[in-house]
Amino acid sequence: MSVATFEVFRAIAEPNRYAIVELLREGARPVGEIATALDIRQPHASRHLRILAEAGVVSARSAAQSRIYRLEPAAFGSLEHWLGTFAEIWTERTDRLETYLERVAEEEEEQGR
Amino acid sequence: MTTVTRDRAGKRLIVEREVRGSAPLVWACWTEADRLREWWGPHDWRTDVLELDLRVGGRWRYRLRPDREHDLIEEHWGTATYEIIDAPTLLRFLDASSSPDGSVTAGSEMPTNVRITPSESRSNGRHDHHRIPHRRRPGTGRSTGNGRGL
């Protein structure tokens, strides 16, 4: 799986960040409102938003006294994107399963000798 | 090679992979903590198995974390609940993101079926075939889910 794909997965898998994504589905929000809605401190909300922004899930613009966050439709939101993300995760996962099984087989062969 | 088929109408992925190993060994890879640790997480990530209770209704809790130095905020916690256990051919569990204490993130549940069948394309019978219909519900069914920004 590409780094970018796993970044998106990791970004949205954490419960607070998942809640932020759900909240932003309803529309853009300033960081203060996001913190209030999730009942977390604003610096904590900002860290989560930074992770989401680095993964390309949200983007920010500066308004009068705050930063307004919104979902990035290009990176997130379509079923096609979800399927692509999980297709990559499962491809890597099954690659690793195969690699592990090969290692087990080698070890068994060595022991059998 | 892994084949991934996108079933858009059924909102699921079908992942197929031929691997080397008897059905009981492949089953063990999916159901034993010491083996899951070796492959479940992404490359350069560590999988910690915190609980694995292989019974219908039992839970498998895990944590994924980067090998490199990382922030706690970067860790991913998962909780899966077993629904069907039919060794060594069919395993069904509801995988979900969760908080460290195991409470599941609403809307993140992914029903996952693992079918282990003898390979048709190899004659030596040592290879197994995987089918993992992997259902992912997009969003939570909230009526505003298709609104602005999406």
Mutate to test the interface with A, among B15, B39, B109, B144 (most CBs of A within 10 A): B39
State whether residue A21 sits within 8 Å of chain B by CB.
no
CA-based nearest residue to B119, from A75, A101, A28: A101
Collect all residues with Cβ–Cβ distance below 8 Å to A111 and sequence separation of at least 6: none
Across the range A21-29, mean pLDDT stands at 87
| Confidence category of residue B140, pLDDT binned at 50, 70, 90 | very low
State whether residue A53 sits within 8 Å of chain B by CB.
no
CA-based nearest residue to A93, from B39, B20, B127: B39
CA-based nearest residue to A24, from B145, B41, B59, B17: B145
Greatest mean pLDDT among A24-33, A84-93, B102-111, B141-150 lies in A24-33
State whether residue A74 sits within 8 Å of chain B by CB.
no
Residue B23 in tokens: 């059905």
CA-based nearest residue to B137, from B50, B19, B45, B13: B13
Q: Which residue of A has its CA nearest to B6?
A: A83
Provide the whole-model pTM. Answer: 0.73
Q: Which residue of A has its CA nearest to B16?
A: A94
Q: Cα–Cα distances in Å, from B53 out to B61, B100, B103, B126?
A: 9, 17, 16, 28
| Confidence category of residue B123, pLDDT binned at 50, 70, 90 | very low
Mutate to test the interface with B, among A54, A68, A86 (most CBs of B within 10 A): A86
Percent of chain A topping pLDDT 90: 35
Q: Which residue has the higher pLDDT, B30 or B126?
A: B30
In degrees and rounded to multiples of 5, residue B76 shows phi and psi of -120, 130
Q: Which residue of A has its CA nearest to B101?
A: A15
pLDDT higher than threshold 80 for residue B100? yes
Residues B83/B105, Cβ–Cβ less than 8 Å: no
pLDDT higher than threshold 80 for residue B83? yes
Lowest mean pLDDT among A4-13, A66-75, B20-29: A4-13
Q: Which of A25, A101, A102 has its CB closest to that of B144? A: A25
Side chain identity, residue B139: G
Q: Which residue of A has its CA nearest to B95?
A: A13
Tell me what pLDDT residue B130 has. Answer: 61
Mutate to test the interface with A, among B32, B38, B142 (most CBs of A within 10 A): B38
Q: Which of B13, B35, B139 has its CB closest to that of A87? A: B13
Greatest mean pLDDT among A79-83, B50-54, B65-69, B114-118 lies in B50-54
Tell me what pLDDT residue A4 has. Answer: 58
pLDDT higher than threshold 90 for residue A94? yes
Percent of chain B topping pLDDT 90: 42
Across the range A70-80, mean pLDDT stands at 71
Tell me what pLDDT residue B135 has. Answer: 60
| Radius of gyration in angstroms for the set of CA atoms belonging to chain A, rounded to a whole number | 19
| SS3 letters across A18-84 | HHHHHHHCCCCEEHHHHHHHHCCCHHHHHHHHHHHHHCCCEEEEECCCCEEEEECCCCCCCHHHHHH
| Confidence category of residue B138, pLDDT binned at 50, 70, 90 | very low
B8 contacts on A by Cβ (under 8 Å)? 79, 83
Tell me what pLDDT residue B125 has. Answer: 40
Tell me what pLDDT residue B129 has. Answer: 59
Gap between the Cα atoms of B113 and B134, Å rounded: 7
